[in-house]
Amino acid sequence: MLKNIDPVLTPDLLYGLAKAGHGDVIAVVDRNYPPYAAGIPVVHLAGVDGPAAIAAICSVTPLDTFIDQPLAAMRPVGEDSLPAVTTEVVAAASQAEGRQIIPRPVERFAFYAEAKSAALMVATGEARPYACYLLTKGVWPSFAPDATPPGAPAVGAGDPATSSGASPAGPGDPATSSGASPAGSSTDAGQDR
């Protein structure tokens, strides 16, 4: 059990998101999409709609600030506008990011081609058609100009060790006096876990 984690985030999904790095793409698709056709890892979120999946993913995964449109949305065939569900997805991503996210429309077959290079495919239970999205993962904390997320401290703010460029020593670091980890310390040796 984890605290402060959206229950939509399964262990497999958290693992896949953690493995993805800056610039990797996470595909979040509706129930009509063929998730295994891309040949990439698939995590199923049956019963979870697109906006809820995007909100949960964006609660732990930053979107890229180095590109203008870190969220791509599948555009319905023969239409110029995006489906109504995309409005909900954009609202969820924008709220999680603390900034306005503008979706990049992608034609259906171009979307299939782009999704093949995704790091992870998240197959939701979303019933509305064309509720398929590509999220480009960013970095935390954000290093783009003026992009520090709300509530996040500025890098190095108030910490002399980080503002000087030196990293603080932690357990197991050669810079600590004993080099021992807290689990091996005498203060917790007799405690039950």
- Segment 135-168, tens digit of pLDDT: 999 998 766 555 555 555 554 444 444 444 444 4
- 192 in a domain, yes or no? no
Q: How many domains are contained in the chain? A: 1
Low-confidence stretches of the chain (pLDDT beneath 50): 155-193
Residue 99 belongs to some domain of the structure: yes
Q: What is the pLDDT of residue 144?
A: 58
Which H or E run contains 59? helix 50-60
Domain range enclosing 41? 21-136
| Rounded-to-integer distance, Cα 54 and Cα 184, Å | 40
Residue 79 inside a domain? The answer is: yes
Exactly one of 15, 19, 22, 156 is catalytic; which is it?
22
CATH code, 26: 3.40.1650.10
Sheet holding 25-29, edge to edge: 42-45, 120-124, 25-29, 133-136, 71-75, 104-107
Please tell me the predicted confidence (pLDDT) of residue 179: 42
pLDDT at 140: 82
> What span, in angstroms and rounded, lies between the C-alpha atoms of 77 and 83?
11
pLDDT score of 153: 53
Residue 22 is among the residues annotated as catalytic for this protein: yes
Q: Which tens digits make up the pLDDT trace of 32-53?
A: 999 999 999 999 999 999 999 9
Place of tokens 């077959």: 109
The answer to whether residue 58 sits within a structural domain is yes
**Amino acid 188: pLDDT:** 40
CA–CA dist 162, 183 (Å, integer): 26
Enter the pTM of the model: 0.74
**Does residue 90 sit within a domain?**
yes
pLDDT reported for residue 182: 39
The answer to whether residue 8 sits within a structural domain is no
Q: What is the pLDDT of residue 1?
A: 72
- Whether 141 is in a domain gets the answer no
**Does any domain span residue 184?**
no
At residue 142, the pLDDT reads 63
Quick one: pLDDT at residue 187?
39
